[in-house]
A and B are shown apart, each in its own frame.
Chain A
């Protein structure tokens, strides 16, 4: 019976579904029994085959398992004897043969070393006995020969030293002092000893001195050799510039470079790379607020729920899933970083169970969603477990197999991991791109989670790129199950201001952006992406470009000890300094021609000037940001905001040219002159704090001066207030002292006119505040004038200001359409082989076909007749054939007159154009194609 049941398991499903009518039950039974017998026969046959094979394989135990497998398969296929399988059989036999060969070879090799070689090449690599012996002899020979060589080279010296040593050791015996033979002899002996020893000493001294001098020379040359090696490695690095633009495989080059760099070059980063580390840090700071609120929300919700069990009287009849809707902004490239940080924060502070869902992985259906969630959750749990295991040494949860991921599996996993403590940490599911998910999937997810909230506390984080209203796309049945709380990432403009303040205006950053590069950067950020990632990429690119193309960039790294660096400039570097455009401008600006000549010919005055100007540049870098910020504070709230409401507007203006000369500055300044007291005081106080912080960082005279002006203004205001209080009492008396007499209407009119006339004629006396304001502004103007000089007006600004926006644009903002146009109209631009084409003729038969076709198509309207196009193509490529065509057009010739190769070339060129998105076939007119202006995305 059991066997029968097992047999019936093997019946295919469709036969097991009985027909609808029970009257045919018998028929079905009969059929079934028939099938059962058939199947049992089949199984018996299979079993027999298997058993037989087992018996056979038992005899062939020595063979490798793969071999057995191969044979078995070949036998099985041989039994089946299917037509068309013979070739496969042959191939299998061939494989088998090869396997045998390999095995026999392996046996021949066997016994040399331990183990069996894994691949044939390893045999060649293993040392044979003979090899080992030769190697040993070689080593011995090398040692001996080196010793002999040394003896040959220095043997004489050693001998000499030995001789001197022996002589010196015999010296007391050869020069005995006879103390018993009287004074004379003793003196004589002493004399002898002295002369002998002094001679000896001179010789020795001579030898030792020469020796040491010679060895010093040796060391020196060795040192020279080493520096030369270093410079050689550096020259290898220099090749990088050329190689980057070429289309070569650089992996080997990189490996070689890395090897030599690590072995020969000292690591000196000079703090330049800190920018790369700086940016994520800043973004993290930016998002910290968001994170704090976000990560506190699930925890808060959790607490509340726990509280609710005990305290709150009306328990909500339905449990809502605590949900955080995060408006993350449209800057998609940054989201990856954002969510990685969010995840790590949640893992660190709230719960270890975090799953991050992306629409790409979850678009197929609920299976993918559950799989993703389970995989991520179990992975985090495993890492946590492994940590625990190292501490406790054992224990843990069973890892669920992902055969069919489902909610029940998740539930059982959660229960098994948190058996001991029922209210375990919540499971956080982050939906990364809400817009990308289909609503069905999210709906299913929410509806299936919500009934199990009691056992599986889930917190959803939905990230919305556009606005929180996108949640409305969920149907009510599921959205009513969510307890939504909103969070939003900081606005992009705020981020930009923050970035400018922290990165571009920070004095710690050695490299700065000039006007054009800055403009490009801001344009990219504001108009195209709003992405911090793009911003950092642009900065990185500009850094790369700067250090690659600007020879003087080495000065940046050593701002702190400019003296030593400028002092050790060699001739070459001085020439480089002379070649910088800003220096030339500076020299041309000098009035004294002798000075000019001196600077251009001698190094020393040049170094002095360079030192002085670089110092000035550095100071400018210190004063520029705080003054810019205070100007911004002063002008941001002006009506019509002539200098712009945002920091980047003012920054761009200041970088463009001298802000004081700017026409908008005048209007702004005249508006500042009319500012009210409260606004002005607030602005002044704000800028005082900014200036103070920058003053702490560096003592700068200009900043100090500005600060003094501002402080004086505040002090003046205080004084005015005091005076006004004192004056208030007095004025009251004055007012009372004016006599008031009854007047007639005509008299009153007269008096009014009189007063008006008086007021018009008399110049109004400015109030005390107005005076203070004027002094303040008069004091501030020179500060701004001096401090906000655009950097490109300073000499040597090339050293630390990168201003090449075209290279940035080339690398970061590609224009495929434009380059295609260039390639098709001027093939010589990209094709060096086509130089023979003369520049003058726009169309020539030597051009590639696509170019000709493209240029012809430029002359056409929206719809292009293919035949006309072909005619003009032929007339360009083969003017002789064009005559036939004119005949054809007149109706004389035949269509076959056109060379079929020409036709083929033409059609190929047209289809290439279609592929590039310039034309597309249209159904509006036969034999026509449509021109596309913008191509396809």
Chain B
């Protein structure tokens, strides 16, 4: 109980800060709406957050919400996730993971089919989408709820800036995209990687808002951007415009003033603009400079398999125990990950069968990879293999152990090859086909070209590389011992026990001057070679190949310094090709 109390306290505190920010030029109705929307789910806690000052408004809102809830409940009965048919589940396969934004078009079509007459329903029409959204995006109910309440209704004032964050493939982009497109509000969805400069960012946002097909409207500066936003808002209705900036961490690199001004767009334009930043970082890491408006943070936690992970849900504004319990129940019955992955179930396959398969995949791969997109990709590759004995009639669908024994070697192969991207999926499929046509299981390894091919270098380059490695990993004072003429006698002497010395292999490469490199090179190279320009040019070609790196010194005339970037194994391999015993010259091994 004490924990919930402290949580409430912290939330109250946060709410206060939020409130003080909101006070700047935003009317009181804003809060009333916010409150109302939060009340909708019967969360009394929000009363405590916002209701202190606006209790009267809150009372009214509660009444409205209650009416609406009766509506939505009846709707939810029909569209509960469990009762959705397999077909509809299949259609949603592509839309769950974060990564694939390419299917947006297809998804929008579906939206329009599914939701008929969205805008026509009254003020609370937005909540009609809730259950359909939840069924489409399992495991993200909480976030959808919160987002819907934060976004509010088209003409209501919204919160000026939202910050959506969470790990990769937690459905941030997908949830936002689905919500915005199903609500059919003016919005711009911009990937900040594509927009490398502020100009391009402004232009792309405007083009998205206006529906320009070329994808770019000329807009050179923040003021003109604001003006165009204003004029656009004046032309259209007074609906709120949503600007979603995906991969928002890239905004840091552009301009120090860009991020703060984007966050204050609604203030600057005096229109209803909501900026939603999407990122993988927490806000403290993203906002490097102080002084900006702090956006409302919304965390997308990792999808979980086990229900006990619910504890990790310390969502910012929800603490209603009732809701949590409800949620726990649903999660108990079916883990989020499995729910999502089960959506991939191909047509005509029994769902429970597919779920056991997905369970296997999760159990095997969870230690190396929790990226949902990757897991789904792997399971789509492996499922035909899993089904093979069933289709050939060897086993029935119930004999899980047999099936497991059949699929296990493939799992291992996939883990070592595909997950590391040593071979492409196309090659893997090809290799599997070869295997099926009567070859042994080793063909997988044979069909793949050797990725660790021996580095082919000119003769002198090899020696230069070895010399650079020696120079990087041997202390310079030991050069005399290794490379002087009386080397034999000295090495014999040095066999007496020495004091404990630091392992230079662990310390990493040290920079060395060119002079030392050349001296070692000429001492390890048996034949006499004239120091022609060829040798110097080979050093620079090694630098361009990133086998040796050149440190930036102030003056190139001042004797450049280098570092060897090769690993011991690679250099040993190179040394073996020229018949050079590397270990004999390394300080750590003598």
Residues of chain A whose beta carbon lies under 8 Å from any beta carbon of chain B: 5, 8-9, 11, 13, 16-18, 20-22, 25, 301, 304, 313-320, 322-323, 327, 329-330, 332, 365-367, 403-404, 406-409, 411-412, 433, 435-436, 444, 447-448, 451-455, 465-471, 477, 479-480, 482-486, 488, 491-492, 524, 526-530, 813-818, 914-915, 917, 920, 932-937
Q: Do residues A814 and B533 form an inter-chain contact, with CB atoms below 8 A?
A: yes
Least CB separation from B250: chain A residue = A444
Residue A317 contacts which of B376, B421, B459 (CB distance < 8 angstroms)? B376
Residue A933 contacts which of B100, B424, B426, B519 (CB distance < 8 angstroms)? B519
Write out, one digit per residue, whether chain B residues 187-203 have a CB within 8 A of any chain A CB (1) or not (0).
Answer: 00001011111011001
Q: Do residues A330 and B456 form an inter-chain contact, with CB atoms below 8 A?
A: yes
Enumerate 11 A-B pairs (CB-CB under 8 Å) in ascending A order. A313-B347, A317-B97, A318-B97, A408-B214, A468-B453, A471-B421, A477-B168, A484-B424, A813-B532, A813-B534, A914-B557
> Which residues from chain A contact B203 at a C-beta distance below 8 Å?
404
Write out, one digit per residue, whether chain B residues 514-548 have a CB within 8 A of any chain A CB (1) or not (0).
Answer: 11001100000000001111111011110011110
Q: Do residues A816 and B458 form an inter-chain contact, with CB atoms below 8 A?
A: no
Residues of chain B whose beta carbon lies under 8 Å from any beta carbon of chain A: 24-25, 93-94, 97, 99-103, 168, 191, 193-197, 199-200, 203-204, 207, 213-216, 218, 221-224, 226-227, 261, 267-268, 344, 346-347, 371, 373-374, 376-377, 380-381, 383-384, 421, 423-427, 449, 451-453, 455-461, 514-515, 518-519, 530-536, 538-541, 544-547, 556-560
Q: Do residues A818 and B530 form an inter-chain contact, with CB atoms below 8 A?
A: yes
Given contacts A16-B223, A318-B97, contact A453 B102 (CB under 8 A): yes
> Which residues from chain B contact A411 at a C-beta distance below 8 Å?
215
Residue A815 contacts which of B97, B384, B530 (CB distance < 8 angstroms)? B530
11 further A-B pairs in the complex, CB-CB below 8 A; given A317-B100, A404-B199, A818-B531: A5-B227, A17-B223, A21-B24, A315-B380, A330-B461, A330-B545, A404-B216, A408-B204, A436-B544, A454-B102, A817-B531
Q: Do residues A316 and B425 form an inter-chain contact, with CB atoms below 8 A?
A: yes
> Which residues from chain A contact B227 at a C-beta distance below 8 Å?
5, 8-9
Q: Do residues A412 and B421 form an inter-chain contact, with CB atoms below 8 A?
A: no
Q: Do residues A332 and B544 form an inter-chain contact, with CB atoms below 8 A?
A: yes
Residue B453 contacts which of A5, A327, A492, A915 (CB distance < 8 angstroms)? A327
* CA gap between A304 and B426 in the complex, in Å: 9
Q: Do residues A815 and B455 form an inter-chain contact, with CB atoms below 8 A?
A: no
Pick the 6 closest A-B CB pairs, nearest first.
Answer: A408-B215, A22-B25, A934-B518, A314-B380, A527-B459, A366-B196
* CA gap between A5 and B228 in the complex, in Å: 12
Given contacts A16-B226, A304-B426, A404-B203, contact A447 B193 (CB under 8 A): yes
* CA gap between A412 and B217 in the complex, in Å: 13
Q: Do residues A530 and B456 form an inter-chain contact, with CB atoms below 8 A?
A: yes
Q: Do residues B373 and A486 form an inter-chain contact, with CB atoms below 8 A?
A: no
> Which residues from chain B contact A471 at a C-beta distance below 8 Å?
421
Q: Do residues A467 and B453 form an inter-chain contact, with CB atoms below 8 A?
A: yes
> Which residues from chain B contact A408 at a C-beta distance below 8 Å?
194, 204, 207, 214-216
Q: Do residues B459 and A526 form an inter-chain contact, with CB atoms below 8 A?
A: yes
> Which residues from chain A contact B94 at a C-beta distance below 8 Å?
315, 317
Q: Do residues A816 and B533 form an inter-chain contact, with CB atoms below 8 A?
A: yes
Q: Do residues B194 and A365 form an inter-chain contact, with CB atoms below 8 A?
A: no
Q: Is the interface of A mostly helix, strand, loop or mixed?
A: mixed
* CA gap between A49 and B13 in the complex, in Å: 61
* CA gap between A315 and B534 in the complex, in Å: 53
Q: Do residues A367 and B534 form an inter-chain contact, with CB atoms below 8 A?
A: no
Q: Do residues A482 and B383 form an inter-chain contact, with CB atoms below 8 A?
A: no
* CA gap between A917 and B425 in the complex, in Å: 54
> Which residues from chain A contact B261 at a C-beta distance below 8 Å?
17
Given contacts A9-B227, A453-B102, contact A320 B544 (CB under 8 A): no
* CA gap between A317 and B358 in the complex, in Å: 15
Q: Do residues A815 and B531 form an inter-chain contact, with CB atoms below 8 A?
A: yes
Residue A469 contacts which of B93, B452, B519 (CB distance < 8 angstroms)? B452
> Which residues from chain A contact B558 at a C-beta distance below 8 Å?
920, 936
> Which residues from chain B contact A25 at a C-beta distance below 8 Å?
25
Q: Do residues B193 and A444 form an inter-chain contact, with CB atoms below 8 A?
A: yes
Residue A529 contacts which of B194, B456, B458 (CB distance < 8 angstroms)? B458
* CA gap between A933 and B521 in the complex, in Å: 13
* CA gap between A588 and B485 in the complex, in Å: 49
Give chain B nearest CB distance to A416 CB in angstroms.
9
Residue A527 contacts which of B101, B195, B218, B458 (CB distance < 8 angstroms)? B458
Give chain B nearest CB distance to A86 CB in angstroms.
36
> Which residues from chain A contact B221 at a C-beta distance below 8 Å?
13
Give chain B nearest CB distance to A486 CB in angstroms.
5
* CA gap between A934 and B517 in the complex, in Å: 9
Q: Do residues B168 and A937 form an inter-chain contact, with CB atoms below 8 A?
A: no
Q: Do residues B557 and A920 form an inter-chain contact, with CB atoms below 8 A?
A: yes
Given contacts A327-B453, A451-B102, A486-B449, contact A936 B559 (CB under 8 A): yes
Give chain B nearest CB distance to A808 CB in angstroms.
12
* CA gap between A937 and B226 in the complex, in Å: 54
Least CB separation from B196: chain A residue = A366
Least CB separation from B23: chain A residue = A22
Least CB separation from B449: chain A residue = A486
Give chain A nearest CB distance to B524 CB in angstroms.
15
Q: Do residues A528 and B374 form an inter-chain contact, with CB atoms below 8 A?
A: no
Q: Do residues A486 and B191 form an inter-chain contact, with CB atoms below 8 A?
A: no
Give chain B nearest CB distance to A844 CB in angstroms.
28
Q: Do residues A528 and B538 form an inter-chain contact, with CB atoms below 8 A?
A: yes
Q: Do residues A404 and B200 form an inter-chain contact, with CB atoms below 8 A?
A: yes
> Which residues from chain A contact B100 at a C-beta distance below 8 Å?
317-319, 451
> Which residues from chain B contact A818 at a C-beta distance below 8 Å?
530-532
Least CB separation from A435: chain B residue = B546
Q: Do residues B541 and A936 form an inter-chain contact, with CB atoms below 8 A?
A: no
* CA gap between A336 and B126 in the complex, in Å: 59
Least CB separation from A531: chain B residue = B458
Q: Do residues B197 and A404 form an inter-chain contact, with CB atoms below 8 A?
A: yes
> Which residues from chain A contact B457 at a C-beta distance below 8 Å?
330, 530
Q: Do residues B459 and A491 form an inter-chain contact, with CB atoms below 8 A?
A: no
> Which residues from chain B contact A412 at a C-beta distance below 8 Å?
213-215
Given contacts A313-B346, A320-B425, A467-B453, contact A815 B532 (CB under 8 A): yes
> Which residues from chain A contact B449 at a C-beta distance below 8 Å?
486, 488
Residue B536 contacts which of A21, A482, A937 (CB distance < 8 angstroms)? A937
Given contacts A9-B224, A318-B377, contact A406 B194 (CB under 8 A): yes
Q: Do residues B458 and A448 form an inter-chain contact, with CB atoms below 8 A?
A: no
Give chain B nearest CB distance to A63 CB in angstroms.
36
Give chain A nearest CB distance to B466 CB in angstroms.
14
Least CB separation from B372: chain A residue = A317
> Which residues from chain A contact B557 at a C-beta distance below 8 Å?
914-915, 917, 920, 936
Q: Do residues B545 and A482 form an inter-chain contact, with CB atoms below 8 A?
A: no
> Which residues from chain B contact A814 at a C-beta distance below 8 Å?
532-533
> Which residues from chain B contact A365 at a C-beta distance below 8 Å?
196
Residue A22 contacts which of B24, B214, B544 (CB distance < 8 angstroms)? B24
> Which residues from chain B contact A934 at a C-beta distance below 8 Å?
514-515, 518-519, 531
Give chain A nearest CB distance to B359 CB in angstroms.
17
Give chain A nearest CB distance to B376 CB in angstroms.
4
Least CB separation from A403: chain B residue = B218
Q: Do residues A483 and B453 form an inter-chain contact, with CB atoms below 8 A?
A: no
* CA gap between A465 and B101 in the complex, in Å: 34
> Which residues from chain A contact B99 at a C-beta distance below 8 Å?
318
> Which residues from chain A contact B533 at a C-beta distance below 8 Å?
813-816
> Which residues from chain A contact B200 at a C-beta distance below 8 Å?
404, 406
Q: Do residues A937 and B425 form an inter-chain contact, with CB atoms below 8 A?
A: no
* CA gap between A17 and B269 in the complex, in Å: 10
> Which residues from chain A contact B215 at a C-beta distance below 8 Å?
406, 408-409, 411-412
Q: Do residues A330 and B541 form an inter-chain contact, with CB atoms below 8 A?
A: yes
* CA gap between A123 and B323 in the complex, in Å: 96
Q: Do residues B560 and A937 form an inter-chain contact, with CB atoms below 8 A?
A: yes
Least CB separation from B542: chain A residue = A330
Q: Do residues A466 and B102 form an inter-chain contact, with CB atoms below 8 A?
A: no
Residue B421 contacts which of A11, A444, A480 (CB distance < 8 angstroms)? A480
